[in-house]
Amino acid sequence: MKYRHGFHAGNFADVHKHVTLLSLIAALQRKDKGFLYLETHAGRGLYDLDSADTHQGAESRLGIGVLRGTASASPQIAAYLAAIERLCPRADESLLYPGSPLLAAQALRGQDRGWCCEIQAAECRALERALQHYPRMRGACTDGYAGLAAHLPPPERRALLFIDPPYEEQDDDLVRAIAGIDDALQRLANAVIALWYPIKDQPELAPWLTRLAARLAVPALVAELWLHPRDARIGLNGSGLLILNPPYRLDAEMQQWLPELGDALGAARQGGTRVQWIAHEQH
């Protein structure tokens, strides 16, 4: 595998998925009872935007580079920016960007805990170093889908599963992700699950979502942000998140902050945003 999360660290898709991730954690923390955070494709946890691996942060300039240092009317975007500032203060670490494991680790309470899986050995060693100051979060050098069987169902009976595959082979990755989701829901029917997917080819994406919606037995919504026409042939046009068993009022909150985020990142020029239910609970 040649993919590294670091190639795209801090880009617009990272911003989209990380604001969403922190919003999901905050929503789950409205209840006192703890939960398990489980991530299947964690990466290294912390990225140097001045390195060759990130193309000297080229993609981040259109993502976190646009937002950093700005004020936001949205509490969700403001919370994300505050988390970035705590983990990577601009005064002395302006070229670092935290990945989802570090953002989640910082957000966990004493009653919460987490496991982040990463199959690539070098990335996993870096992940373990990044998490060494966060005892509530552990890194595991293993296939993330195998981690589902190891950790679900958790004693807490509550879980947030974050799936962010590399999509080197998009069809294969989608098949494995959906199989992983099926497995997770069989083990814990109320698990909150967020699957990130790229928006590259609208004629293929739309039927996939339609087929998926027809077989889902739990509530599900999609939250998408795209900067370029959805069928443009330029690479990554947009960022999508499929959220199963979303917490109460998450959709209403996203309908407020996602358009603001899209505007800040330049979606108004050729792109857009949407928050839409694709499946409701079946009775």
Handedness of CA 43, 44, 49, 51 (dihedral sign): negative
> Which residues are paired to 97 by β-bridges?
47
Number of H helices, E strands in the chain: 11, 10
> Which residues are paired to 277 by β-bridges?
221
Q: Which of helix, strand or coil describes residue 193? A: strand
For 22, residues 6+ apart whose C-beta sits below 8 A from its C-beta are 76, 79, 80, 83, 103, 104, 107
Please give the Cα distance from 230 to 219 (Å, whole number).
Answer: 25
Q: Is 164 considered catalytic here? A: yes
Q: Given the structure tokens 């296939």, which residue do they identify? A: 143
Please give the Cα distance from 165 to 113 (Å, whole number).
Answer: 22
H or E stretch covering 252: helix 250-265
H or E stretch covering 185: helix 170-187
Amino acid identity at 141 = C
Catalytic residue among 164, 182, 231, 263: 164
Residue 1 sits at the vertex; the CA angle it makes with 57 and 42, to the nearest 5 degrees, is 60
Nearest to 114 by CA among 30, 25, 182, 176: 25
**Count of beta carbons in the 10 Å neighbourhood of residue 190:** 12
> Which residues are paired to 117 by β-bridges?
140
Which residues are catalytically annotated?
164
